[in-house]
Amino acid sequence: MNLMTEKIAGLWPEISLLLGACSCIAAGLAGTVSVRRLAAPIAAVALAVAGVATLAGASPPTSIHIGAHGSSANGIAAPLACYVKIAVVGVGLLLLLVAAAVPNRIRSDQQVDNAPGSAFDAGLVMRGEFFAFFLLSLTGVMLVSGATDLVWLFLALELTSLPTYVMVATARDRVEANEAAVKYFFLGALAAAVFLYGFTLLYGATGSTDLNVIHNVAKHQLAHGGLSPLLLTGMLLSIVGIAFKIAAVPMHFYAADVYQGASTAVTAFLAFVPKTAGFVALILILGITGDHTPQPVIWLLWAMEALTMTIGNVMGLLQTNVKRVLAYSSIAHSGYMLLGLVALGGHRAGEAAVLFYVVGYGLATIAAFAVLGCLETNGDESQDYAHIAGLAKRNPGLAATLLLAVLSLIGMPPLVGFLGKVYLFTSAIDHGYVCLVVIAAINSAIGAVYYLRIASACYFGKPDEATRVIDWPSRRVGGTAAAVIALALGIVGGPLVEAASLAVDAPIGHPTHSTGIVLPPADDERGEMPDTATPQPAAPTTAPADDAPAATETAPQPAPETAPSEPAGKSSDM
């Protein structure tokens, strides 16, 4: 019981979002339009409460790291979870501004709204559901960041994705939207099967679903002849499966179709929310092996990274549909962020860079989609270069927002995209992945072509007669705010960078762990047995009541007398 309450104590942000989701549904069922329209404000309040709850639950990070992913004992959120939750709340509010007007465009809602009272059919209105699913998906991301267990992680990932399938399907009255939702759902299910398979293999290899335990077993195995193939395969499958969430090769196929089919505001949502969940999940999965990412995993990430950004960029070049362009840009940016994961061992600067970049990317892409969402061509969404042509002449404000967004996506100083790329690339260079960085730089150059094409269409193109600007203040404010924040973070991004590095690197000074941090891979050869032989960095201090400690005591039985050098060398060869 005690355990349960403590766990719940750390989940106040999630709980508030959940309650908000329920309230949205309830409000959505009301017979009067004005009450139904409260759904969006309710969602905003829920997000705000979640933000406050996160800040209240956060405390100076003292205790937990690698071994104890997101452990939330004593109601203290882990720094990683804390960072992710704050980011989700912040970016979520912007997304909400952008998405607030979505139900107004759904035909059934319009009909019901315009025929007040007469014959209210709750089955026709989507507004309540839309915002409820919106909040539920965000809840999923928050839960992912706090996951300490594979089952939890799986459920949280699915909680992130399932609402988005519905949002894609219902938020736009077009058959393409339904097609997109079906594709998204089936392919998402396939990917979920892949990483679920990976999770079961992890369980099979270690006998536990607890990430701490799995970490300790992995550590033990690393110290004694390398990871077992089962554990390794489990990791690989998990990574490949989760790649779907971030739209990375080979799981990227859906992105362009789904992004194109979904309502523009929902596309913005898809570009940030599942991606964040995916990267956090990847960080947790890679955390299993701590600082010593096995060589095959590095190969996998290396190849995924190079292919993802290259495919994303070269395909982006060919598109004439701006939403598809931004979809491929989303793929390409996932490629850049994988760079940080490759560079994960050692100082963990790579992780911090990823966490920073995902926010920067989210801001820029939300701004771009928001501007796109403010345009309408022949009663439908504007999607082509031709539609945004000459926007600067019609609406300089929107054009400027779009310009800032694409410049940030290019990585132009002083925007946040530049800062993000600097951190990612330097972290990768620090770990010797110069070749990857060169590939990434070439890719950035290729990407600049289609981003600048957007900007040039906007500023030098001839205005399209059929396109008009819709007056949706909330969406415009959301987009502008995202662009302005992208600019501001590019100039004074220090605090966010610090927060990101704190999120992964917090407990410096923890004796056991700090040794782990500073050990370069070469030191493995010397076999730091005393260190590896004390494998419970987190358990005694952080979660005394968890079952984790018990499992930990039983699982790894370090054998100090084993000759350390040879197996260690072997493990690094893998």
Which residues are at the interface with other proteins (CB under 8 A)? 182-183, 186-187, 190-191, 194, 229, 232-233, 236-237, 240-241, 244, 249-251, 253-254, 256-257, 296, 299-300, 310-311, 313-318, 446, 449, 570, 573-574
| Shortest spacing between CB 477 and other proteins, in angstroms | 35
Closer to other proteins by CB, 195 or 472: give it.
195
| Shortest spacing between CB 316 and other proteins, in angstroms | 8
Beta strand pairing status for 380-381 and 467-469? unpaired
Closer to other proteins by CB, 233 or 395: give it.
233
Closer to other proteins by CB, 64 or 300: give it.
300
CB atoms within 10 A of CB 234: 27
Closer to other proteins by CB, 11 or 242: give it.
242
Angle in degrees, 0-180, between the axes of helices 79-99 and 264-286, rounded to the nearest 10? 170
Query: Which SS3 state, helix, strand or coil, does residue 101 take?
Result: coil
Closer to other proteins by CB, 100 or 240: give it.
240
C-alpha closest to that of 153 among 142, 138, 163, 162:
142
| Shortest spacing between CB 397 and other proteins, in angstroms | 33
Closer to other proteins by CB, 454 or 539: give it.
454
Closer to other proteins by CB, 307 or 371: give it.
307
Closer to other proteins by CB, 526 or 570: give it.
570
| Shortest spacing between CB 240 and other proteins, in angstroms | 5
| Shortest spacing between CB 238 and other proteins, in angstroms | 11
Q: What is the full DSSP assignment across 32-73?
A: SHHHHTTHHHHHHHHHHHHHHHHHHH-----S--GGGTT--G
| Shortest spacing between CB 418 and other proteins, in angstroms | 22
CB 122 within 8 A of CB 31: no
Closer to other proteins by CB, 191 or 283: give it.
191
Closer to other proteins by CB, 298 or 503: give it.
298
CB 477 within 8 A of CB 97: yes
C-alpha closest to that of 361 among 331, 391, 392:
331
Q: Classify residue 178 as exposed, middle or buried by CB count within 10 Å of its CB (0-12, 13-18, 19+).
A: middle
| Shortest spacing between CB 219 and other proteins, in angstroms | 19
523 Cβ contact partners less than 8 Å away, ≥ 6 residues apart: none
| Shortest spacing between CB 449 and other proteins, in angstroms | 8
CB 171 within 8 A of CB 266: yes
CB atoms within 10 A of CB 65: 28
State the Cα–Cα distance between residues 324 and 368, nearest whole angstrom: 12
| Shortest spacing between CB 7 and other proteins, in angstroms | 33
| Shortest spacing between CB 193 and other proteins, in angstroms | 10
Closer to other proteins by CB, 40 or 194: give it.
194
State the Cα–Cα distance between residues 135 and 257, nearest whole angstrom: 24
CB 20 within 8 A of CB 47: yes
| Shortest spacing between CB 322 and other proteins, in angstroms | 16
Cα 403 to Cα 331, 368, 461, 491: the distances in Å are: 20, 8, 14, 17
Q: What is the full DSSP assignment across 181-223?
A: HHHHHHHHHHHHHHHHHHHHHHHHHHS--BHHHHHHHHHHHHH
CB 328 within 8 A of CB 312: yes
Helix, strand, coil in percent for the chain, rounding step 5: 75, 0, 25
Query: Which SS3 state, helix, strand or coil, does residue 9 take?
Result: helix
What count of residues does the chain have?
Answer: 574
Kind and range of the H or E run holding 469? strand 467-469
